[in-house]
Amino acid sequence: MSSCYITTPIYYVNAEPHIGHTYTTVLADTIARYHRLTGDETFFLTGTDEHGEKIAEVAAQRGVSPQEISDQNSDAFRSTWDRLGFSYDRFIRTTDPDHVETVQRILQQVHDAGDIYFKEYDGLYCVGCERFLTERDIEDGLCKDHERAPEQRVESNYFFKMSEHFEWLAGHIEANPDFIRPERYKNEALAMLRDESGLGDLCISRPKERLEWGIELPFDANYVCYVWFDALINYLTGAGYPDGPKFSERWASAQHFVAKDILKPHAIFWPIMLRAIGLEPYRHLNVHGYWNVDARKVSKSLGNMISPLAMQEQYGFEAFRFFLLRDMVFGLDSNFSEEALVARVNSDLANNLGNLVSRTLNMTARYAGACVPACGPTDVLEDEVAAAVPVAAGKVAQHMQRCEIHRALEAIFELVDVVNRYLEQRAPWKAAKQEGTEQLVATTLYTSCEALRCIALLLAPFLPATSATILERLGLAGALDGAHILDDACAWGRSKAGTPTTKGAALFPRLDPPAREDA
Ligand code: MSP
């Protein structure tokens, strides 16, 4: 059995979960579910990043301790993820004792190996990014990402010898084209490495006189660890480093999911840190674009956040989840609007999928006594439907390997179209009114129930609740328990005649377009 280790970024606890955090977690959840259904031993990690100046700053503004803010907001993330049904295996907090211990152990190890030195540093620091900026990060005197002015800082600190590994890293990235993907981010990482003036060594400490909220350096009690050095190590703690029984297999299959804002720490700092620790680099860094609202990145500082719980309340989470997965092209930015969401849900879910489910099950109730009928002799039309299933499954497998979720969904919905067209051609509602057509109607309904079973299985990673409902209505509750489920999707003919089916209410009622404020 292969291992599969999937991570999201750990989110800062200075903000409530919004569409951006939700997207990365939906994406990772979908990939994790997909791997579980193919039989891989999957471990899915998410959590919160709690140390550092950003959090200390918000706590000070609100007059509470950083620990209190962390507890509150970490709970907000976890309970939101639970309400949305994400299938994470561990929710890690950087204040968890095993993580603090792992970070200190690694700091000591890297220090003992001579890879950390002490010096005075003078630079421009952005608290939003929690790092010293380079010229590339600044536009009109402001941090490009946070639109705030960085501060000039002179400080004595500990540095991690990063620059001596740039050549090795560039070689590793070149030699492994899917190490950082899609390609545009691989190229961006290589450009960062070429432009060495902007990188240098990594400052990994903060003096306690300025910041106390962090993990103390094991070799100097006057300093805490820089938040990114601490945060990246969560991926090791979460996998059970150093001696957890599954650590090695997990690490060998590690895939990180992040947005492009944190490319540099993941593409540059992290592989070099791993090399200093004596570990192999992760397997893949999967980098997606931003969700924008009115062409600006969603963020707390810009005040344009979309709450996943509000979306769940308004549209149901599966509809929101579907929109996020279907409308973002992996690697590119996407614009969020409720109009686009409603249009997508109405066309794909209410019309195509919803219609196929309701007419198949309504006709099975009406013409076959609410049981899957026995399949009679088949013809070329049925053969076409049966042949379309492995084609769709093959495309799904291929696109999922590359994280091209929108294309995987496109392939499943092409299959939905094939079955809808088949029903139009066979028109069992007309055939049923004629004499001697019982077998034809039964075969048509068998074929559509069977295709629907396959579609529901294929959809399980993307729309887990909808998939479970369709299977339940086909009398196949529990079909998703167990391994190698996706192989069942391609095994045409598994539906058994006589299995009781239920009609049920519309899966996705048509949504009204959102009221316009200027209307
Ligand atoms: N704490 C660090 C990550 C440490 S990982 C070792 C951090 N946290 S964050 O709360 O700012 O989350 C950033 C991540 O949230 C992005 O990389 C992305 O996964 C997600 N998103 C936040 N805003 C986003 C958009 N507007 N669009 C898409 N995803 C974005 O950085």
DSSP string covering 175-232, please? Answer: H-TTSEESHHHHHHHHHHHH-GGGT-SEE-EEETTT--SSPEETTEEEEEE-HHHHHH
Residue whose CA is closest, atom 9 of ligand 1? 11
| Type of residue numbered 506 | A
Q: Do residues 184 and 331 touch, judged by C-beta distance below 8 A?
A: yes
**162 touches ligand 1 (CB under 6 Å):** no
Ligand 1 midpoint to CA 292 (Å): 13
Ligand 1 centre and the CA of 258: distance in Å? 7
Q: Is 246 annotated as catalytic?
A: no
Ligand 1 pocket test, pick from 258, 263, 269 with the greatest ligand atom count within 8 Å of Cβ, gives 258
Given this model, what pLDDT does residue 43 score?
Answer: 98
Catalytic residue among 51, 165, 256, 297: 297
Q: Which protein residue's CA is at the shortest distance from atom 7 of ligand 1?
A: 11
What residues contact 110, with CB distance under 8 A and at least 6 apart?
116, 160, 273, 276, 277
Q: Report which secondary-structure segment, H or E, holds 119.
A: strand 116-126
Q: From the CB of 316, is ligand 1 less than 6 Å away? A: no
Mean pLDDT by 10 residues, the chain (519 residues): 95 94 98 96 98 92 96 97 98 98 98 96 86 85 91 92 96 98 98 82 92 96 97 98 97 98 97 98 98 79 85 96 98 95 97 97 97 97 98 97 97 98 97 93 98 97 98 94 81 95 95 72
Whether the upstream peptide bond of residue 461 has omega within 30° of 0, thus cis, is no
Q: Ligand 1: does its nearest atom lie under 6 Å from the Cβ of 258? A: yes
Cβ of 262 closer than 6 Å to ligand 1, yes or no, is yes
The answer, yes or no, to whether any atom of ligand 1 lies below 6 A from the CB of 290, is yes
203 is catalytic: no
Ligand 1 atom closest to 11 (CA): 10
Which of 4, 126, 225, 375 does the annotation list as catalytic?
126
Distance (Å, whole) CA 123 – CA 153: 5
Ligand 1 pocket: which of 7, 8, 10, 11 to mutate (most atoms within 8 A of CB): 11
- Tell me if residue 126 is catalytic: yes
51 is catalytic: no
> Which pTM value belongs to this model?
0.94
C-alpha of residue 128 to centroid of ligand 1, in Å: 12
458 within ligand 1 shell (Cβ under 6 A): no
Question: Is 143 annotated in the active site?
Answer: yes
- Judge whether 375 counts as a catalytic residue: no
In this structure, the strands spanning 284-288 and 202-203 are: unpaired
Length of the chain: 519
Known catalytic residue at 300: yes
Is the CB of 9 within 6 Å of ligand 1? Answer: yes
Nearest CA to ligand 1 atom 5: 9
Kindly state if the Cβ of 291 falls inside 6 Å of ligand 1. yes
> Which protein residue has the closest C-alpha to ligand 1 atom 6?
232
Active-site residue (options: 54, 99, 111, 129): 129
Give the separation between CA 82 and CA 356, rounded to whole angstroms: 30
The one-character DSSP state at 371 is: B
Contacts of 389 (CB under 8 A, 6+ apart): 415, 451, 454, 489, 490, 492
- Residue 490 CA to ligand 1 centre (angstroms): 37
Distance CA 270, CA 262 (A): 11
266 catalytically annotated: no
Instruction: Write down the pLDDT at residue 155.
Output: 86
